[in-house]
Chains A and B, each alone.
Chain A
Amino acid sequence: MKFSLLYKHYEETREFSDDPLRGAMAETVYDLSVDKAVRELCASGETGAYTLEVLKSPLKTAEEVEYRQAVLMDFVSSPKLLEELQDIFKNYDTLQSDWREMQAGIYTYGVPQTSGGILDATYEALRITAAFAKKTVSYFRSVYETVGRYEVASEGLRGIREYCREMMENRSLDEIGEISSIFGRDTVTGYRFKVRTETDDTLRIVSASLQEALPTEDNGLGERMKRLAARLTKTAPPADDTPEVDMGEFHLETARGILNESLYELYTVLGSIAGSIYEFFRGLSGELGFYDTGVRYVRRLAQSGAPMCLPKLLPREADVFRASGLYDLHLLLEGMPVGDIIRNDVTIEDCDGTLIRGANSTGKTCTIRSIGTAVLFAQAGLPVCAERAEISLRETVFCQFSSAEKDFDAADAAGRFEGEVKEVAAILEQLRPWSLVLFNETFQTTSYAEGAEGMQHILDALGRAGARYVFVTHMPIFERMDSPRVLKLEFGRDYRIRRL
């Protein structure tokens, strides 16, 4: 169970899962230089790494994207709220690690060997765990009060406020807090206990459960008198009228063993439950880091006077990419004045794929990068670098950019070509319908005729597989691809796109 500001329908398996596509998405982020952009925008390396992980997991529904867009807009309007929540959840993040560290600290001087030492260590683990449980429970109030001080419109932030209110009023959560509060004394000698045991059919105790732990009164005269009487008579007054057999004090080792097991059981169960409650908000610190990056990104574009928009996400079957005034974020972050950055209107619809050609340095790579970045950002719930955009959801975005630096031996063209072939084969291996595949000058490491022929078969296959592609190339492939379902674009010397 977990509350998420990134996902409306959170699934544990979704977030940064072992999806094999994540490897491909890492390539995509690298090829599109999104990693550089994120590093430039982020407050810390940790936040940057988290943001990249989010970008590598594109959202699959417009509903999820809108959920995230709304939360981002709340934080853009109330940056102080973001700051306060970041402070709260930064502390929250350390709760569990502190708890674990303190538990490990119990055994700093080795594992105890005596029954008394073992009992003391188990009690200490319970005491630390009880404190962790109490603190965890208290966070619902802090979050509720913080969010309550701001006007928020998003479903995510309103939801977290309402959720915290319900939890604060929950009787069961209260009871967990009450039980945790019992175990605040420094040592196990501060209590009298009742432990219920169950034996098996060979009279071995197989379970020991703590029924009662009553703090002893350290300073009361009456208690001192009772203890004195107990010492003199080697007994103690019975707690009630239940018949019992006085076993004296000859069973110290066994009694400690039984008590230890009952405390251990309580410690593990309380630890597990506290851990589950902690899960409600686990990871929110990272999620807020993503929004922090988003707010910084929006601020940076606004300060530069560059246009941006929250794109309208369309179902994948609508199968369009329409962006007015699309530009390359990378150029902006490199310091190019906004006025010098060429903006293009790009419309890709009713086709299986797009071929782009043009002379060197006319904007082909910037455009394919802008398209890819726009899709990634849109499906991450971020604004895109355009005046207006309508984008169909894509299953994933694959890239094969031969111009990106790779570990090929430049002198070994055959090796480099094989490297590219391997990358394309890996993409096809993982291909899913409605994926977007971006090729930048692929197969130009072999003769253009051979490369073009090879690419033609691959692009045809992509179309048959229901994927979409954009291919930037110098190779003579325009003539080969004469299907009406192939869009052909050409860049002129004026950096403008023309449809052929």
Chain B
Amino acid sequence: MSYPSLLFSDKASGTRIEEHVFEDVKLTAFFSEESIGAMRVLCRPEDIPVRQDLLRYLDGNGEVRGILKDLEAVSADLVRLHAAMQAVKCENERHYVFVGLMAAVADFAGLAASLPEQGGPLLLRFGSRFRGDFADPVWSDMAAEAQKLRKEADRIRRETFRMAGDNLWMRPDFRESYVERLQRCAAELGLPPERRQRDVSIRLDARMVNALARLHPEAFLAFRDFYARNSGSFDEGILSYRFELGFYLEALALMDRIRNAGLPLCWPAPAKEKRIRVRELYDISLLLKSGVRIVPNDAEFTSAEPFFFLTGANGGGKTTYLRSLANAALLFLSGCPVCAASAEIWPVGNVFTHFPQDERFEADGRYADEQRRVGEILAAHGGNSLILLNETYATTNEELAVSSTLALAEKLKDSGSFVLYITHQHGLEAAGVPFLSVIVDEDDQNRRTYRIERRREAEGSYASDILRRYGLDAESLLSRFPGNGGERA
């Protein structure tokens, strides 16, 4: 019986998001490569609420979440042991490793079968599959034997080598090592624990494994016999749980982290008509910086207004806004909650980003590289995507940049895809695309507010005296040092 997916009710949508999109919007800081791999494969829209239900259930159920963590740890062992099986160099080694592999399968199945019969269709199907295994007495006996033999295998993992000149002997001889003696002395002297040692990984060659078998003949005969009876029982399909479980656990860890930072999270509703409406959206990547004030913004893209240029001062929060929007879409499409107060998002067919990438262009130059990447997006977006362009064409001369941008806007504005295009270019009004702009506070030394609004005319200059600028005027000082702080003598 094959292993059912924890990510898809039936099968995936068949669309994959480009890997660099996750790098551009910094989601790679929160998800591992394996989980990003899972997020890149888009599910069908009907599976989004199914995943949301599962995540919601896990979020509120610490015990089940704990089981999933244990399952993930065992699945990592399965992947490792399976790789070792592929690389064995002698039969004794094959028999030894197989015992461990099947014992891990038994561990995994035992944990999966212990899941409560709750949590939505994906989890129910998963637990039920493994409960079925245990109902089979042949399988149950195999699992019990594998776990018993593993104890025997663990027992013989420690040996001593005697070395004299070029000669080598293997023997069971366990005495306190010099390092253990030193560590004892150090502890008695109250010294701090020594620095971490490097990882050792030396593969025993076939002769050595066979020597080990000679030292422990009964154990290795039992391993051989077990392998002979059960070698056809292992199904590689179980290995895919490694990244499926990883995705859910990392999503839950991210939710914890966001909540611990006191920030809102919401479960977005799939929009019934083509639009993206997010209230108090913020950029998750700001969590990576300490002491940053997070300023939320709203986003609204509709069929009537699917495309915006975003302009404004450097450091005003344009890229942050773009990332927030991309993250909201990507998290929603993966079935995760998004970083906002509320959200309604159309399940777009794909997400594309176009960021400055100095390292990517080759002999043809930067502009040619940008055009090539734009061409790829135009060919792939299919009129149902979210396209995020960050200072595209900023590296060429202004005339060419403006004409290229206008041409691109012409192709995208009625295409059916949602587009946000950050640019410093002037003269784009002819595109007929509305503008968003970052707001500066003219009454406060043009301080960046990190607020994004529809553009208004906003020019101003700094005008305050020097003392006031540095917070040394009477009012500022009184506010900072009100007195009666208890320290005054």
Question: Residues of A at under 8 Å CB distance from B?
Answer: 1, 170-173, 175-176, 179, 182, 189, 192-213, 227, 230, 234-236, 238-239, 242-252, 254-255, 257-259, 261, 264-266, 268-270, 272-273, 276-277, 317, 319, 350, 352, 414, 417-418, 421-422, 424-425, 428, 433-434, 454, 457-458, 460-466
B171 touches A421 (CB 8 A): no
Chain B residues, Cβ within 8 Å of A179: 178, 181-182
Partner of B186, one of A245, A273, A352: A273
Q: Is the CB of A276 within 8 A of B192?
A: yes
Report whether B202 and A208 are in contact in the complex, using a CB–CB cutoff of 8 Å. Answer: yes
Residues 78-107 of B, flagged 1 when their CB comes within 8 A of A and 0 if not, give 001100100000000100110010000000
Inter-chain contacts of A207 with B (CB < 8 A): 200
Within 8 A of A (CB), among B165-188: 165-186, 188
With an 8 A cutoff between CB atoms, is B190 at the interface? yes
CB pair A204 B203 closer than 8 Å: yes
How many residue pairs link A and B with beta carbons under 8 A? The number is 256
- Give complex CA distance A248, B177 in Å: 24
Q: For B191, give its contact among A1, A236, A265 (CB under 8 Å).
A: A1
Q: Are B472 and A457 in contact (CB under 8 A)?
A: yes
21 intermolecular pairs with C-beta atoms under 8 Å apart: A1-B191, A172-B189, A175-B185, A194-B162, A196-B174, A196-B177, A197-B160, A205-B204, A206-B200, A230-B164, A238-B169, A244-B169, A246-B169, A247-B170, A264-B197, A268-B194, A269-B182, A352-B488, A421-B466, A424-B470, A461-B481
Given A176-B182, A208-B202, A244-B170: A201 in contact with B97 (beta carbons within 8 A): yes
Find out whether the CB atom of A421 lies under 8 angstroms from the CB atom of B181: no
Tell whether, in the assembled complex, residue B481 and residue A464 are in contact, meaning their CB atoms are under 8 Å apart: yes
Contact partner of B168 (CB less than 8 A), chosen from A198, A251, A457, is A251
Q: Is the pair A269, B194 in contact by a Cβ cutoff of 8 Å?
A: yes
A239 and B167 contact, CB distance less than 8 A: no
Residues on A with C-beta less than 8 A from B237 are none
B202 closest partner in A (C-beta): A205
**Cα(A426)–Cα(B165), bound, Å:** 69
Are the C-beta atoms of A196 and B167 separated by less than 8 Å? Answer: no
Main secondary structure of the interface of B (DSSP, over half): mixed
Chain B's nearest CB lies how many Å from the CB of A486?
Answer: 14
By the criterion CB–CB under 8 Å, are A205 and B160 in contact? no
* Chain B residues, Cβ within 8 Å of A239: 162
Inter-subunit contact A255/B163 (CB<8 Å)? yes
With A269-B182, A418-B466 in contact, is A198–B167 under 8 Å at CB? no
The chain B residue sitting closest to A468, CB to CB, is B489
Given that A269-B183, A317-B489, A433-B485 are known contacts, is A201 also in contact with B172, CB under 8 Å in the complex? no
B166–A463 touching, CB < 8 Å: no
| Minimum CB distance partner of B483 in chain A | A464
**Min distance, Cβ B281 to any Cβ of chain A, angstroms:** 34
Closest chain A residue, CB of each to CB of B157: A199
- Please name the residue on chain A nearest to B482 by beta carbon: A464
From residue B365, how far is it (CB to closest CB) to chain A in Å?
Answer: 41
CB distance from A249 to the nearest CB of B (A): 4
- B-chain residues with CB within 8 Å of residue A243 when the two chains form the complex: 171-172, 215
- Asked if B466 and A192 make an inter-chain contact with CB atoms under 8 angstroms apart, the answer reads no
A461 to B480, CA, bound (A): 8
Q: How far is the CA of A376 from the CA of B483 in the complex (A)?
A: 27
Q: Which residue of B lies closest to A392 (CB)?
A: B489
Residues of A within 8 A of B203 (CB): 203-205
B158 A196 Cβ-Cβ under 8 A: yes
Q: B477 within 8 Å of A by Cβ?
A: yes
Across the interface, which residues of B come within 8 angstroms of A319, CB to CB? Answer: 489
Chain B residues with CB below 8 A from A236, complex form: 164-165, 167
Chain A residues with Cβ below 8 Å from B239 are: none
Are B169 and A258 in contact, CB atoms less than 8 angstroms apart? no
Q: Which residue of A193, A414, A454, A464 has the most chain B CB atoms within 10 A of its CB atom?
A: A464
Q: Any chain A CB within 8 A of the CB of B233?
A: no
Could you say which of B158, B202, B483 contacts A204, with CB atoms under 8 Å apart? B202
- CB distance A268 to B195 under 8 Å? yes
Q: Tell me the bound Cα distance from A302 to B193 in angstroms.
A: 49
Q: A244-B162, A247-B211, A454-B467 are in contact. Are A254 and B181 (CB under 8 A)?
A: no
A199 to B200 CA separation, bound complex (whole angstroms): 10
Is A195 a contact partner of B163 (Cβ separation < 8 A)?
yes
Known: A1-B191, A464-B488. A276 touches B481 (CB 8 A): no
Q: Does B136 count as interface, using CB distance less than 8 angstroms?
A: no
Known contacts A175-B185, A205-B201; A428/B472 CB under 8 A: yes
Chain B residues closer than 8 Å to A460, beta-carbon distance:
477
The minimal Cβ–Cβ distance linking B80 to chain A, given in whole angstroms, is 7
Tell me, rounded to whole Å, the shortest Cβ–Cβ distance linking A480 to chain B: 12
Q: Are B208 and A173 interface neighbours, CB within 8 A?
A: no
Asked if B168 and A249 make an inter-chain contact with CB atoms under 8 angstroms apart, the answer reads yes
Contacts of B157 in A (CB 8 A): 198-201
Q: How far is the CB of B169 from chain A (nearest CB, A)?
A: 4
Docked complex: B205-249 residues within 8 A CB-CB of A: 205, 207-209, 211-212, 214-215
A196: which B residues are within 8 A, CB to CB?
158-161, 173-175, 177
CB within 8 Å of A: which B131-161 residues: 150, 153-154, 157-161
Contact partners of B158 in chain A: CB under 8 A:
196-199
A194 CA to B173 CA, complexed, in Å: 9
Assuming the contacts A268-B195, A317-B489, asked whether A245 and B170 have C-beta atoms less than 8 A apart, the reply is: yes
Does B121 belong to the interface (CB within 8 Å)?
no
Are B168 and A248 interface neighbours, CB within 8 A?
Answer: yes
Instruction: Determine if B305 is an interface residue (Cβ-Cβ < 8 Å).
Output: no
Is the CB–CB distance between B477 and A461 below 8 Å? yes
Give chain B residues whose Cβ lies under 8 Å from the Cβ of A350: 489
CB closest chain-A residue, reference B161: A195
User: When A and B form their complex, which 6 residue pairs have the shortest distance between CB atoms, in order from nearest?
Assistant: A466-B487, A464-B483, A244-B171, A272-B194, A433-B487, A202-B84
Most central of A170, A172, A209 by chain B CB within 10 Å: A172
* Contact indicator B181/A261 (Cβ below 8 Å): no
Bound CA span A170–B185, Å: 10
Contact A273 B185 (CB under 8 A): yes
Across the interface, do B186 and A175 meet the contact criterion of CB distance under 8 Å? Answer: no
Residues in B whose Cβ lies below 8 Å from that of A176: 182, 185-186
A242 with B172: CB separation less than 8 A: yes
Query: Is B198 at the interface (CB under 8 A from chain A)?
Result: yes
- The one of A202, A242, A273 that contacts B194, using a Cβ cutoff of 8 Å: A273
Give Cα A277 to B190, complex, Å.
10
CB distance from B211 to the nearest CB of A (A): 5
